[in-house]
Amino acid sequence: MTQRLTDDEVRKVAKLARLELSEEEIHHFAGQLSKVLDYVSKLSELDVEGVEPMVHAMETSNVLREDEARDGMPVEDALKNAPEPEPPFIAVPKVIDDGTAA
């Protein structure tokens, strides 16, 4: 293939990815992305006739257990390493805005 991406094409991809690139980076990445596309196009030359599609390179299987209620961790154990325990809770910084403007 060996078709170099244009700087405009790299700008378009960068915009879609919400990346701000300098002109030097755009030119640099045009070359790198062109090499990636060349490599991917080589994959189309492979003869995959009769090759089964696969999801993963190694065979995997899920080991599932019955969904049964069990006793949880005792509160004392859960709070043992908490930075600011306030039994039976853990104190954390406030992360929800109360709606008033500062």
pTM of the predicted model as reported, rounded to 2 decimal places: 0.46
Task: Identify the pLDDT of residue 85.
Answer: 86
* Alpha carbon distance 85, 90 (integer Å): 5
Residue-level pLDDT at 33: 93
More confident residue, 27 or 57: 27
Q: Find the mean pLDDT for residues 5-15.
A: 94
> Going from the N-terminus, what domains does the chain have, and what CATH number goes with each?
7-43 (1.10.20.60)
pLDDT averaged over every residue in the chain: 88
Is the bond into 93 cis (omega within 30 degrees of 0)? no
pLDDT greater than 60 at residue 97: yes
**What distance separates the 2 farthest-apart alpha carbons in the chain?**
66
pLDDT category at 102 given cuts 50, 70, 90 is low
pLDDT at 56: 82
101 pLDDT above the threshold of 70: no
